[in-house]
Every structure is written in structure tokens, then in C-alpha cells.
Chains A and B, each alone.
Chain A
Amino acid sequence: MQQNIARDKASTVSESRNDKLIGYLQQHLPKLVLAPSFAVILMFVYGFILWTVYLSFSASKMLPNYTWVGLEQWSRLWNTLTWQISLQNLFIFSVLYIGLCIVIGLSLAILLDQKIRLEGGLRTLYLYPMALSFIVTGTAWKWFLNPGLGLERTMHEWGFVDFKFDWLINSDMAIYTVVIAGVWQASGFIMAMFLAGLRGIDNEILKAAQIDGAPAWKIYTRIIIPQLGPVFLSAFVVLLHLAIKSFDLVIALTGGGPGNATSLPATFMYSYSFTRNQIGVGASSAVFMLMIIASIMVPYIYSEIKGGKK
């Protein structure tokens, strides 16, 4: 071994020029390894964003056409009734979807936190829809809510003859079926987030509160839930993000209909870009979606990164 090290020393001297190259490579190797990924992100994300922004100011119809037309496509977008409905639907959908998911998720988490014997199994059951494709979820609920064969008929058979549930084909109510299916899919995940938050709370605080004689529900409303602030924020951001991106679920459940009653920005963008040959309008709707998401995600990511550094 001694010899070997001696040999090592001898070779260091003769290799010193080689070392320089190796040193140079070693210094830059990490960046070289990262570079392709970063380049791809720059081009396929940021480049494409700019590209789409440009398209939204162009005369593109069926094919991209790079003639600058200013705000024409944008004004066309805002004058389209379907777009107005889409935004209105997005608002209704988001409020209900986020609200219900949080209420249901938090309630389930609190109930599961009562030293429940079957906790593991129940958690698994609540969460499995999250593993499904929205298309599968949509297909299932479409069947489940089918007025002729699904829930309505089943209730009739069970003796509730007056039960009526035709939301899926009712223009005024169809958007709520999307909410139901969406909540079914995501509330288990929100439950898991809250459960993790509950488990992260310092046990000694709770013991202290118990010794102070606080009843159980007060411990929740006064001590535990206020400490879950960050979880509420995360849940809100995640759900809003999911809501704005919602596309598959609507396509599979209602196809945007009846008529355009369940159209959302995501489905609007897709249909205007790919089936209605209005690429310019599609692009401007996509840019608008990005703007909504960015206005939420940028501050959120920023605060998360800053908070993480602390």
C-alpha cells in the first residue's frame, strides 16, 4: 500500500497537465449536465409562452399566421359568449370545488384523527380516486348520474318515487355535477394534507390545553385549526391550480355541454384552437389562463422558497 501511494505521488507530477484539463472539465461538468434540461425548459416552456403570447396578437385562424393584428383576437375573445360563460363557470366551479374539498377534507381528517382503529384502510379508500384518470372519473360519474339508468332510477327502485336527479342534462345544473365529481376525486387528497398537518402539531400544546380544561371542540377551533394556516394555504393553491387546469373531467363527464353550459377556459381553449380553427382566440385564452395561475403561483412559490430558506 505504501508503494501504491508513492506511485500515486509520482503520477501526480507527470499528469499535472492532464490534471488541468480534468480540473477544467470537473469544474464545468455539473453545469454541462444541467444545461440540456435547462435549455429544454427555457425553450419548451418560456419560449413557447412567448410564442403563444405572440399568436394571441396574430391573425392566426386555422393555421398560425404571424401577421400582427394587435388586440383583435383579444377583443374577439372577450366578445365571445362562450368565453364569458367559461369564466363564470370557472368562478362557480372554483368556489364550490375549493370550499367543499376543504370542508370535507378537514372534517374527515379531524374525524380520522380520533384514534380510529381502521384509519389506514379508510385513508386508502378516501384517497384512491386521486389515482384515477379524470377521464375514468368522468366516465364513471357520467354513468352514475345518468338520469335514465343511474342514481335516479336506483332511488326510484328503492321506493323514492319522486326522486329526481337530472343535473347532468340540465343546463343550469350541469356545472354542479362537475363539482361533485371533482370533489369526489380530490377531497381525499386534501384530507391527507390536513391529516399530515394535524399530526405535525406539537402534542404538548394539546396536553397543556387539556390540562387547562378546554373541551375537545374548543381545542380544535381555538388551538388546532388556527395552526393549520399553512395547510389551508397549500390546499387552496393546489385546488385552485387543479380547478383552472380542469379539462379532462369536463370532457369526459359533459363534453362541455349541454350546449356550452359546462364550458371552462381549458375546454374553451382546446375547442377554439383545435376544432373551431380560431388559433388566435385560443392563444389569447391560454395566455389569460396563464395570467390567472401566475398571479397565484408566483407569490406562492416565492414565499415557499423564502420560507424554506429560514
Chain B
Amino acid sequence: MSASSQDNALRSGIAWRVLIYSVLIVTAVIYLAPLFVMLVTSLKSLEEIRMGNMMALPLQITFEPWLKAWGSACLGLDCNGISGYFWNSLKITVPAVAIGTLLGAFNGYVLTKWRFRGHQWVFGMMLFACFIPFQIVLLPMSQVLGWLGLANTTSGLVLVHVVYGLGFTTLFFRNFYEAFPDELIRASVMDGAGFFTIFGRILLPNSGPIIVVTVIWQFTNIWNDFLFGASFASGDTAPITVALNNLVNSSTGVKEYNVHMAAAITAALPTLLVYVVAGRYFVRGLMAGSVKG
């Protein structure tokens, strides 16, 4: 009898697990569906899209939409594809990430290892800057960029992203260096190392993980930015997100869904790649960005 009840328990246990796995897998399929649809659509011809099922695999794979999206799709009157905007995004993202991360590292270093009276207030004010809705700075910023001659330039967007990324990069490094032993700093002071030597020789070589987290965070945010791009850049200087939106919403001509999807995947590719390669650090950044302290 006890054997059979055990058997029952076992069976219901297995049933449970089957159920759990089914729910998880179905959910995963739902999460994947939009990406899957984008991908198959981008490989179909327009006729096939109109005729067939969006979930169906392409009958005949064509890379035409990809080539067109990259090189010859029309955004307004300009028919050179999104490639130029892709490079714009790179030109904005790479320097903004580099500068923002470096400044954040220095700020975190000072705020933890060279404390001064009122350091909490400085940090608090920088922290709050992470959470403002950027709408509150749009109008003054566009004016200031105009005065600086940086309106509609990628350099202007670099400046904007550095400034409004500072709060987060400082937060990341501050929290990391907070846990970095003070005794190491004291030891290097006794060894005769100065402010920059300690930073360069002791702190930085031990900051690998937080640098990766910060770079990924900054890269993802800046690459994916739309608000600043749409507000402060137009025409040739726009980043890829703005270009993608323009492409998709351009009212002229036939809607080339396959080209749109190819462009969307292209725009998503760099951040997706980062996520696939370094997902662990990506998640850590998200967590660190949401839980302060």
C-alpha cells in the first residue's frame, strides 16, 4: 500500500514537473515569437508577406530586404538606407561610453576613497540625476546645444549622453569601490603612491567587472536612446533609432515590411550581441541600476 501511495506521489510529482516545464517553454515561445516573426519577415519577399502566414518560414529566402535596408531604403527623400545612421550611432555611442565610464570611475574613486565633508550630498545629488524624466531638460538643452554650435551634431549627442549618464556611471563605481578595502589604499599611500597612481595601479586593474557592467549599461542605453536623438539631431546626424522610426513611419509609397524588419533587427543587433556575449554583466547592470545604496 505504501508502495502504491509512493508511486502516486511520484506520478503526481512528475505531472507537476511536466506542467511546470510546459508553462515555462510556452512562455519562452511567446517571448521569442516577435523576434522570430521579425526575422522570417525580413527574409520574405513582399508578395509572400501579403499572401502568407507571418509565422510561416519563408518559402524562398531572400536577402534583398536586408541589402535594401542597409543601403538603399528611402527615408524621406534620401535613399541611402540606414547604414549612415548606424555609423552615426557608433560615433555617438563609443566616445560617450568611454568618457562617461572614465568620469564615473574617477567620481566613484573620490566619493569612496577621498571623502570630504558633504560627500553624501554630492553623491545624493548625482544619484537623483539618474531618475529625472529627461523631458525636464529637453528645452534648455536644445537651446544650449544651439549656443554651443552643437545642435544637430553627433558631438552634441555625445555631450548629452555623457552628462545624463554620469549619475549611473558614478553610482556603479561608487558602490563597487565602497566595497574595495580601504586598507589597500592606506597601504599604497604608505608605499608612496599618489592620487593618480593609486587609481591607475591599484584600483583600475581590480575594476574589471564593474567596468564591463558600466560599459554594457552605457552602451545599451545610449545605443537604444530615441528621445535625445529625436530632439537634438535631425537629417544626416540622427542615430539609428530615429532613422528606424522614420523609415517605418514614412508615409510615402508601399510599406515594405520586410525592409522595416531587416532594419529593426540591424538596429537591435549590437545590443543583442552584447546581451548574448555578456548577459551576466548586463543583468548585473540592470540590477545595480534599480537597487541603489
The chain A residues found within 8 Å of chain B, CB to CB, are 26, 29-31, 33-34, 36-38, 40-42, 44-49, 51-52, 55, 64, 108, 111-112, 114, 116, 118, 122, 124-137, 139-144, 149-151, 153-154, 157-158, 184, 188-189, 192-193, 196, 234, 237-238, 241, 244-245, 247-248, 251-252, 255, 265-266, 269-270, 273-274, 279, 282-283, 285-287, 289-290, 293, 297-298, 301, 304-305, 307-308
A108 and B136 contact, CB distance less than 8 A: no
Instruction: Say whether, besides A245-B134, A287-B136, A304-B292, A111 and B107 are in contact (CB < 8 Å).
Output: no
CB nearest to A108 among chain B residues:
B27
Docked CA distance A118–B135 (Å) = 42
Chain B residues near A266: list those with CB within 8 A.
Answer: 133, 135, 227
B249 and A255 contact, CB distance less than 8 A: yes
A290 and B231 contact, CB distance less than 8 A: no
- Pick from A132, A189, A192, A244: contact of B268, CB below 8 A: A132
State how many angstroms separate the Cβ of A195 from the closest Cβ of chain B: 10
- Pick from B35, B129, B265: contact of A41, CB below 8 A: B129
The interface residues of chain B, by DSSP majority, are classed as: helix
Give the number of residue pairs across the A-B interface with Cβ within 8 Å: 262
A-contact 0/1 string along B31-60, CB 8 Å cutoff: 111110110010000000110011100000
Chain A residues near B127: list those with CB within 8 A.
Answer: 301, 305
A131 and B244 contact, CB distance less than 8 A: no
B37 and A241 contact, CB distance less than 8 A: no
Chain B residues near A142: list those with CB within 8 A.
Answer: 248
The interface residues of chain A, by DSSP majority, are classed as: helix
Chain B residues near A188: list those with CB within 8 A.
Answer: 31
B223 in contact (CB, < 8 A): yes
Chain A residues near B129: list those with CB within 8 A.
Answer: 41, 45
A153 and B124 contact, CB distance less than 8 A: no
Docked CA distance A192–B107 (Å) = 29
Chain A residues near B268: list those with CB within 8 A.
Answer: 131-133, 136
Instruction: Say whether, besides A128-B275, A139-B260, A149 and B49 are in contact (CB < 8 Å).
Output: yes
Chain A residues near B208: list those with CB within 8 A.
Answer: none
- Pick from A64, A125, A269: contact of B31, CB below 8 A: A125
Q: Can you give 10 contacting A-B residue pairs, CB < 8 Å?
A: A31-B110, A33-B110, A40-B163, A131-B220, A131-B274, A133-B268, A136-B267, A251-B226, A285-B135, A301-B124
